[in-house]
Structure 1
Amino acid sequence: MELLHLTDPFISLAIILMVSKTFGYLFTKMNQPSAIGEIIGGMLVGVSFLNIIDIGESLYFLSELGVVLLLFLAGLETDIEEFKRVGGPAFLIAVGGVFVPFILGYFATLPFTHDTMKSLFLGGALTATSVSLTASVLMEMKKLRSKEGATILAAAVVDDVLGIVVLTVLVALNKTGHIEVERVLKLLVEIIIFFGVSIFVGMPFVQKLVKFSSKLDLPESTTAFALAIVMLFAFFAEEFKVASITGAYLAGLLLGQTDEARRINDKIVTIAYALPIPVFLVGIGIHTDIGIFYKAGLSTLALIAIYSIVAIFSKILGCGAGALAMNFKPKEALRIGIGMIPRMEVGLIMVNIARVSGVFDQNLFSIGVAMTILTTLITPSLLTWSFKMH
C-alpha cells in the first residue's frame, strides 16, 4: 500500500481542519477573533514557516465554496428592512471607498513607479473590497445585523460593481490607449440586468423551489435545494461579470425571506463551519508568504509600507467620509471604514490581471500581494477594537 504524503488531499484537509479549530479556539481565549487565529495557523503550516501542506487544486474548490457560503450566510443573517434603510447611504459610502483609494493610490505610488499606467493599476487594486473576512468577524461578534454590519455588506455589493467598472476601464486603457465607452456601457447594462432579474424574477423562483423541496420526503431536501440556489446565483453572477460572492449574498437575502430561512441557516452553518470556511481561512494563511518582506530591497519595502498605509487609511477616509455625510456617528463611520479594508482574493485578482497584462513585473506584483496580506491580517483586530469603543 502506498504511503500517504502531505500533498495528499485527505492528509492536507485533516491538518487544515485541526489547525483551524485549534488556533481559532486559542485566539478566542485571547479575546481575538477566531478568524485571525485560523489565518495565523495557516501561516504556520504554509509557505511562510513549516511549508508542509498546500491548497492544491483538489482543495481549491472547497476554499472557494467557503467564501461563497460565508457570503450566503451573511445574506441570510441580514435584516432586510435594515438593508433597505442603509441602501442609499451605502451607495455613497461605496463611491467614497472606491474613488478615494484609487486617487490616493495613484498619486502615492507615482513617485516610485514613474509610470502612469502602473500607478493607475496600483490605484485600481486599492478600490477592491473583499468583505468575506469582515462578514466572518461580524458574525462571530454577533454584529452582522447591526446598522454598521448591514451598511458594510450593502456597500460591498456596490463596491464590487464599481471595482469591476474601474478594472474594465484600466484594461481597455492599457490595450487601446483610450476608454471604450461602449464596452463600459455594455458591462453596466449586464450588471443592471443581473440585479433586476435576481430581485424581481429570483424571489418567486426561490420561494417556489423552497416550497417544492419541503414536500420531498427525503433527508435534508430543503438544505440541498438551498445550496443549489446559492450555486446557481453564484454561477449567473459570474456570467454577468459580477463576483460570485455577490450572487451568493443575493441568494441569502432572498432565501432569508422564506419560511424555511431559520432552518436553512442552522443547517448551512453546520456544513460551512465544519468544512469549507476553515479551508478558506486557513488557506489564506497557507498562501501568505511573509518572505516577500525580508527578501525585498529597501526601496521595495518603502513602497510596500506606503502602499499598504494608503490602502488602510484610504478606505477608512473614503468610506468614513461617506458615512459621516449620511449622518452616521463618527465611531459608526470608523467601523464601516475598517470593515471595508480587506482586499484579499479580490485584490489578488486585480494585481494578477495587471501582471498577466504585462503592466506589473514580478516586483510590483509582490508589492500588491504584500498589501493584500497586510490589509487581511490587520482587519480582524481593528474591527474588534472599533466595536469595543464606547
Structure 2
Amino acid sequence: MDVFDFILQIVLVLFVAKIAGQISLRLGQPSVLGKIIAGIVLGPAVLGWIEQTEIIHVFSEIGVLLLMFLAGMETDLESLNKNVKAATLVAVLGVIVPILMGWGAAPLFGLPTSEGVFLGLLLAATSVSISVQTLREIGWLNSKEGATLLGAAVLDDVVVVILIAVAIGFFMGTDTNIAWVIAQQIIFFIVIYIVGKYIVPKFMKLFGGMLVTEPIIAGALILLFAAAYFADFLGVSGIIGTYFMGVALSKTKYAQQIEHGISPIAYGIFVPFFFINIGLPMSFDGIGDQIIFILVFSVIAVLSKFIGCGLGAKVCGFSWKSSAGIGAGMISRGEVALILASIGLSGGILSEKIYGAMIVVIVVTTLVTPPLLKFIFGKRLEAEEV
C-alpha cells in the first residue's frame, strides 16, 4: 500500500470513528458500539472502503495494548485483591459453561467432536477490552465490579490458552508440551511481579532525571511494549502484559503524568483503529446458508457467559444487578476469539464455512456487550466520555 493511501485511510478511520462514536452517544449508547458498527459499514461487508491490511492490523494491536495499559493505570489494586475469589469463580464458570454449551450444540449441526470442542473453547474466550472502554465511559471501571471483571478476564485468558494448547496437541497430533505451557504462564506472572515491584520504580526514576524531551512518556512506552512482547513470547496475551505494567506504573509518582501523556496518543490515533478493525472481518457472503447456526451459537455465546459469569458473581455475594453486569461484561469475544478462530482454521480443526459463521457470532457478542452493560449498570457521575 502506498504511504499516502494509508494516510487517507488514517483520515477516514479517525473521522468516521469519532463521528460514529458521537452519534452512538447521542442515541444513549456507548461510543464503542458506533465505532464497531462503523467498521462493519466501512469494511468489505458493506462499502469496502477499508480492507484489513497488515498496517491497519498493527495499528489496531497497538490500540488494544494501549487501551489495556490505561485500564491497568486506573485499576484499584486493593479492590482487585479483595475480589480475587470472586474473579476466580467468575472466570472458572465463564470457561466451563460456554465449553459445555458449545460442545453440546455442535452435534445438532453434524459437526465432529474435534470441531465441537474447539467451538466450545472459542466461546470460552473473553475480550474484556470492549468492556473496559464501555465501563470507563459509564463510570464503572474503577469499582469492585470492574475489578472483578478485569481479574476474571485475566484468569479466563490464562485458562483458555492452556486448554487451546491441549486441544491443538490432541486433535492436530502435534507434540505440545502442556507442562511447559503452564510453566510459561507461571514464569510470566513471577517475572512481571518482580519487575513491577523492584525494577519499574528504578527505571522510571532514571528516565525522570533525563533532560531530553518527554522522558517519562518514553520510559512508560518502553516498559509497556516490552511487557507486551515478553507476555506474547511466553504465550500469554500481550494485553495482559500491558495491563499489569499499567498497574505497576500506577504505583509510581509519575502515574498522573504518564496517564495524561499516553491517553491522547491512545485515543487520538490507535484505539479508534482497534474498534474499527473489529468490524472489518465481517462478511455476509454465504450467511444465508448458515443463518440457523449463527442464530443458535449467537444465543449460546451470549447466554453461556451471562449465566456462567453472572452465577459466579452471585455466589460470591454480589447483588443481582452487579452479577448481571459482570456476566454482561464477559460476553464480548472480540480479538481474542478472532485469533483463536484463525488458529482453528489454519490447523484444519474448523472448516471454512464454520469459521465464517463464527466470525459473525464473535462480532455479534462484541456488538451486544456495550449496550447491555449500559442498560444494566447505568451511568455513574464520574463517567468520562472518550
**Cα offset, 1:65, TM superposition:** 0.3
Aligned pair 1:285/2:282, yes or no? no
Q: Which runs of 5+ in 1 are unaligned?
A: none
Alignment map for 1:105-120 (pairs within 5 Å):
105-120=102-117
Aligned length: 380
1:217 maps to 211
**Cα offset, 1:296, TM superposition:** 2.6
What SS does the aligned partner of 1:32 have? coil
CA distance in 2, matches of 1:265, 1:331: 31
Aligned pair 1:235/2:254, yes or no? no
Q: Which runs of 5+ in 2 are unaligned?
A: 381-386
Aligned pair 1:66/2:58, yes or no? no
Identity of aligned residues (%): 35
Residue-by-residue CA offset, 1:123-148 (whole Å, 9 max, x unaligned): 11111001111111111112110111
Aligned pair 1:91/2:88, yes or no? yes
2:123 to 115, 121, 126: 126
Alignment map for 1:40-51 (pairs within 5 Å):
40-51=37-48
What SS does the aligned partner of 1:16 have? helix
What SS does the aligned partner of 2:177 have? helix
Residue-by-residue CA offset, 1:297-338 (whole Å, 9 max, x unaligned): 1xx211111111111100011111111111111111111111
1:342 to 311, 326, 332: 332
CA distance in 1, matches of 2:379, 2:31: 20
The answer as to whether partners of 2:134 and 2:370 remain within 8 angstroms in 1 is yes
The answer as to whether partners of 1:131 and 1:156 remain within 8 angstroms in 2 is yes
- C-alpha RMSD of matched pairs (Å): 1.9
The answer as to whether partners of 2:51 and 2:280 remain within 8 angstroms in 1 is yes
CA distance in 1, matches of 2:310, 2:136: 21
Alignment map for 1:156-195 (pairs within 5 Å):
156-176=153-173, 183-195=177-189
**Cα offset, 1:375, TM superposition:** 0.3
2:254 maps to 260
Q: TM-score of the superposition, structure 2-length normalised?
A: 0.95
2:384 maps to none
Residue-by-residue CA offset, 1:167-208 (whole Å, 9 max, x unaligned): 01110110239xx8x822221111111101111233211111
2:383 maps to none
Going from structure 1 to structure 2, the CA distance change for 1:6 and 1:385 (only over 3 Å counts) comes to: farther
CA distance in 2, matches of 1:188, 1:40: 37
**Cα offset, 1:6, TM superposition:** 11
**Cα offset, 1:295, TM superposition:** 3.5
**Cα offset, 1:7, TM superposition:** 8.4
1:315 maps to 305
2:362 to 361, 365, 372: 372
CA distance in 1, matches of 2:318, 2:273: 36
What SS does the aligned partner of 2:126 have? coil
2:296 maps to 306
Aligned pair 1:330/2:320, yes or no? yes
Residue-by-residue CA offset, 1:61-115 (whole Å, 9 max, x unaligned): 1110000000000000000100111112101110000011001110012221341
The answer as to whether partners of 2:122 and 2:341 remain within 8 angstroms in 1 is yes
What SS does the aligned partner of 2:83 have? helix
1:356 maps to 346
1:296 maps to 288
